[in-house]
Amino acid sequence: MATKASSKGLTRRQLLARATVAGASFVVGSGFMAARNAAWATELSALKPTTFATLVQMARDIYPHDKIDDQYYVIAVKGYDSPDTADEIEAGIAALDAAARGKGFANYLETGWEKDRVAILRGMEESPFFQKIRGGLVTGLYNQKAVWPIFGYEGESYSKGGYINRGFDDIDWL
Amino acid sequence: MVAKFDLSDDSVVVIIGTGAGGGVLANELAQKGVKVVALEAGGRYLPEDYINDEWESFGQLAWTEPRTTSGDWRVAKDFSGLPAWIVKAVGGTSIHWAGASLRFQDHEFKTKTHYGNVDGANLLDWPIDPAELAPYYDKAEAKLGVTRTGDRPGLPGNNNFKVLEKGAKSLGYEEVNTGHMAINSIEYDDRISCQQTGFCFQGCKWGAKWSSAYTDIPRGEATGNLEVRDHCHVARILHNDQGMASGVEYFDKEGNLQMQKAKIVCVAGNSIESPRVLLNSHSAMFPDGLANSSGQVGRNYMRHTTGSVYGVFDKPVKMWRGTTMAGIVRDEARHDPSRGFVGGYELETLSLGLPFMAAFLDPGGWGREFTSALDSYENMAGMWIVGEDMPQETNRITLNHSVEDAYGLPVANVNYTDHPNDRAMRDHAYARGKAIYEAVGATRTLPTPPYPSTHNLGTNRMSENPRDGVVNKHGQTHDVPNLFISDGSQFTTGAAENPTLTIVALAIRQADFIAGELSKGNI
């Protein structure tokens, strides 16, 4: 993994470095830093790293699945890292941070407990920004084929001949 | 040899739409030697093209042109631009339908008589007697290969059905089985039997489920009497000085406006687009839209009283495996006002894949209440409520002149508000669904609000008296003798049953009528 930043982008290492500089509370979650995947290898091109990290935390707080790694939330919101949406996202996250400050926290990311963050989100759930992020996650998160097996969902079955010989009626506990 | 008719050929029957109504009518007429041009807004997709992926398939098949919504139904809030989940393709929504093929109960043809006056409801008896339609139901069942009719056996029950069956029977329900389905349980009519693949809503890749896309349409074309023009979006129906339909204007594949002359025009674009076409066909002679002297075009929009119940169990169900609509409980379909509502409802298994479950389980929902349910996706069983909703004059399709489609035509607005009878029925059905799953040990049950409508009915309804509706008992408009309605919009009331079998039976019957009138020189 290169550490060289593009003109506008940041590499994973730089992002993590800044996260470290900002202190542990900046970290989107220990699982995030420990991720074994290359999700964070994607360079940010438009959003500030703190903004993106906050967005990822927001995504998890909206649709929290403890068995789903951060990498899938990163993929789900990565599309907002674009010049077309950057201003809107920066403004939305700024409003989220302001709401966190209104409740006595430094910002959203440093609001340490999920229940406190959820309370902040509840206060803005009718806002267009919240609805945009939530609505986008419905497909952005749950339509990732890689998350389906985590829920047990088997997806496409035609190429395997359907379930006629593969357990369409295999329920054994009734 | 596929036919090719000239735009100026005024001897043809022009059919708008190629789904269960239009597709069947086109073939039935072609088989009788009647020349037909069928105009279809969508493209051609066959089983090899269908996609076992919910969102991808939606992108391939769904009608996603702009529509608007109003009224107090939750769809207007959650899916404001998508009032209906129906298909834009040759074969129409018969590609997407689940295959449930139930006859109406006799009393459901005469609801005004049997239900009496229901405040706010615009009930009316069908101008058809059940006995009159019975032979056409026979023909429709044979055409579709409906299981448990003729000598066709039922389908085997999948996991989702077994959960429903055990719960329902332990509550004392008796009419519980794997349904009357237009999905082959044995090889029939050159189509193989169900391979329990799931994805019935995405088009059956085996062709085990009946769809006009790969049965009636190609058979009609093989006669040399049917030309299907795909990617042709109808703008309006034209008429002559005598007030008779004379042709249909449409935008072709290249977006050019064309006009096909016609001897007869049949409208089968579903209960949203069919009234829209009539309303968009207004003229000096018909200022309120074609065939609308009653003012009933677009009114009495029905979409069935629906909703779903999902049960979560402590062990896996894997409801997505196999037939989507894998079984039914019919005991509540009766008319029994002691339950607090008129009419009845069916309970039918339903499953959604994870992507659609996330979209439809609780639209707008978020947080752990939502995600903990999805965490149990593998352990879920699901059922869908299909009940008779009340026709109401104010539930209607209108033209929204502030929103235009790609061709500059005003789009349809769909206004729907539940009648108190609808709410009482839905609440009853939710409670029964919950009890069914709890009887099998559900640790949690979830009520899911209605999805965007797939059963769109009633907006050009049949009536004995021209004042009360748009068409007569043959689907012929009261005002324009050579203009017919050939889809579910001609339903006078909606009954508790899935509508497709009745749409097909009416289309077969209408073909007999049209061919007869043509041979007698009456049209």
Q: Nearest 5°: phi and psi at A70?
A: -55, -30
Q: How far apart are CA B215 and CA B197, in angstroms?
A: 20
Q: How far apart are CA B390 and CA B311, in angstroms?
A: 28
Element holding A29 (H helix, E strand): none
State pLDDT tens for residues B355-366. 999 999 999 999
Please check whether residue B62 is in contact with residue B86, taking contact to mean a CB–CB distance below 8 angstroms.
yes
Residue of A164, A168, A170, A174 for testing the chain B interface, max B β-carbons within 10 Å: A168
ipTM score assigned to the predicted complex:
0.95
Closest CA to B514 of B291, B227, B266: B266
Q: How far apart are CA B135 and CA A140, in angstroms?
A: 50
CA torsion through residues B298, B299, B300, B302, sign: positive
Q: Which chain A residue is nearest to residue B206, measuring alpha carbons?
A: A158
Tell whether A129 is within 8 A of chain B (Cβ).
Answer: no
Ranges assigned E (strand) in B92-192: 176-177
State pLDDT tens for residues B309-357. 999 999 999 999 999 999 999 999 999 999 999 999 999 999 999 999 9
Q: Which residues contact B197 (CB under 8 A, 6 or more apart)?
A: A157, A158, A161, A162, A163, A164, B52, B204, B205, B206, B322
Cβ distance of B366 and A62 shorter than 8 Å: yes
Q: Which chain A residue is nearest to residue B197, measuring alpha carbons?
A: A162
Q: Which chain B residue is nearest to residue A63, measuring alpha carbons?
A: B367
Closest CA to B317 of A151, A148, A173: A173
Q: Nearest 5°: phi and psi at A163?
A: -110, 10
Please check whether residue B121 is in contact with residue B390, taking contact to mean a CB–CB distance below 8 angstroms.
yes
Please check whether residue B82 is in contact with residue B272, taking contact to mean a CB–CB distance below 8 angstroms.
no
* A167 interaction partners in chain B (CB closer than 8 Å): 318, 321
pLDDT, chain B, mean:
97
Please check whether residue B306 is in contact with residue B395, taking contact to mean a CB–CB distance below 8 angstroms.
no
Residues of B with CB under 8 A from a CB of A: 52-53, 55, 156-159, 162-163, 166, 194-199, 205-206, 315-318, 320-322, 353-355, 357-359, 364, 366-368, 370-371, 374-375, 377-378, 440
Q: Which chain B residue is nearest to residue A119, measuring alpha carbons?
A: B367
State pLDDT tens for residues B171-212. 999 999 999 999 999 999 999 999 999 999 999 999 999 999
Please check whether residue B247 is in contact with residue B10, taking contact to mean a CB–CB distance below 8 angstroms.
yes
Tell whether A78 is within 8 A of chain B (Cβ).
Answer: no
Q: How far apart are CA A120 and CA A110, in angstroms?
A: 12
Ranges assigned E (strand) in B264-392: 264-267, 305-312, 328-329, 345-349, 380-387
Region for B480 from its dihedrals, namely left if φ exceeds 0, alpha if ψ lies in -120 to 50, beta otherwise = beta
Alpha helices in B92-148 (DSSP H): 111-115, 130-144
State pLDDT tens for residues B130-187. 999 999 999 999 999 999 999 999 999 999 999 999 999 999 999 999 999 999 999 9
* A62 interaction partners in chain B (CB closer than 8 Å): 366-367
Please check whether residue B234 is in contact with residue B39, taking contact to mean a CB–CB distance below 8 angstroms.
yes
Burial class (CB in 10 A: 0-12, 13-18, 19+), A3: exposed
**Distances, alpha carbon A115 to alpha carbons A67, A121, A122, B320, in Å:** 18, 10, 10, 34
pLDDT beyond 70 at B36:
yes
pLDDT beyond 80 at A20:
no
What pLDDT shows up at residue A44?
83
Q: How far apart are CA A158 and CA A171, in angstroms?
A: 21
The mean per-residue pLDDT over the stretch A55-78 comes to 96
Token digits of residue B431: 């409670």
Tell whether A138 is within 8 A of chain B (Cβ).
Answer: yes
Cβ distance of B358 and A141 shorter than 8 Å: yes
Pairing mode of beta strands B264-267, B380-387:
unpaired
Query: What pTM does this model have?
Result: 0.94
Q: Which residue has the tokens 């105009």?
A: B39
Q: How far apart are CA B315 and CA B25, in angstroms?
A: 47
Tell whether A67 is within 8 A of chain B (Cβ).
Answer: yes
Token digits of residue B508: 């077969």
Pairing mode of beta strands B13-16, B176-177:
unpaired
Q: How far apart are CA B418 and CA B431, in angstroms?
A: 18
B61-B65-B69 Cα angle (round to 5): 115
Strand partners, B251: B233, B257
Q: How far apart are CA B34 and CA A154, in angstroms?
A: 47
Q: Which chain A residue is nearest to residue B205, measuring alpha carbons?
A: A158
State pLDDT tens for residues B254-297. 999 999 999 999 999 999 999 999 999 999 999 999 999 999 99
Tell whether A148 is within 8 A of chain B (Cβ).
Answer: yes
Cβ distance of A62 and B367 shorter than 8 Å: yes
**Distances, alpha carbon B327 to alpha carbons B95, B147, B186, B341, in Å:** 20, 12, 17, 24
Q: Give the rounded distance of the alpha carbon of B177 from its chain centre.
A: 23
State pLDDT tens for residues B418-449. 999 999 999 999 999 999 999 999 999 999 99
Burial class (CB in 10 A: 0-12, 13-18, 19+), A29: middle
What pLDDT shows up at residue A45?
85
Tell whether A125 is within 8 A of chain B (Cβ).
Answer: yes
pLDDT, chain A, mean:
82
* A169 interaction partners in chain B (CB closer than 8 Å): 156-159, 162, 322
Beta-carbon-side half-sphere exposure of residue B400 (alpha carbons within 13 Å): 19
**Distances, alpha carbon B150 to alpha carbons A106, B28, B139, B188, B211, in Å:** 72, 21, 10, 12, 19
What pLDDT shows up at residue B430?
98
> Which 3 state secondary structure label does DSSP give B49?
helix
Q: Does A33 or B134 have the greater pLDDT score?
A: B134
What pLDDT shows up at residue A42?
53
Please check whether residue B472 is in contact with residue B517, taking contact to mean a CB–CB distance below 8 angstroms.
no
B74-78, B234-238, B242-246, B473-477: least confident range = B74-78
Q: How far apart are CA B188 and CA B197, in angstroms?
A: 18
Q: How far apart are CA A137 and CA A58, in angstroms?
A: 11
Token digits of residue B232: 């042709």
Please check whether residue B5 is in contact with residue B30, taking contact to mean a CB–CB distance below 8 angstroms.
no
Q: Which residues contact B100 (CB under 8 A, 6 or more apart)?
A: B179, B180, B181, B182, B325, B328, B348, B497, B498, B500
pLDDT beyond 50 at B410:
yes
Q: Which chain B residue is nearest to residue A135, measuring alpha carbons?
A: B364
Question: Within 10 A of A24 (CB to CB), how many other CB atoms are there?
Answer: 11
Q: Which residues contact B148 (CB under 8 A, 6 or more apart)?
A: B154, B177, B179, B180, B181
Q: Does A20 or B274 have the greater pLDDT score?
A: B274
What pLDDT shows up at residue B357?
97
Amino acid at B339: R
* B157 interaction partners in chain A (CB closer than 8 Å): 169
Element holding B257 (H helix, E strand): strand B257-261
What pLDDT shows up at residue A22?
32
What pLDDT shows up at residue A39?
42
Q: How far apart are CA B233 and CA B283, in angstroms?
A: 20
Cβ distance of B197 and A173 shorter than 8 Å: no
pLDDT beyond 80 at A25:
no
Count helices and strands in chain B by DSSP H and E runs: 12, 17
What pLDDT shows up at residue A17?
37
What pLDDT shows up at residue B2?
84
Radius of gyration of chain A measured on its C-alpha atoms: 19
The mean per-residue pLDDT over the stretch A79-102 comes to 97
Strand partners, B226: B36
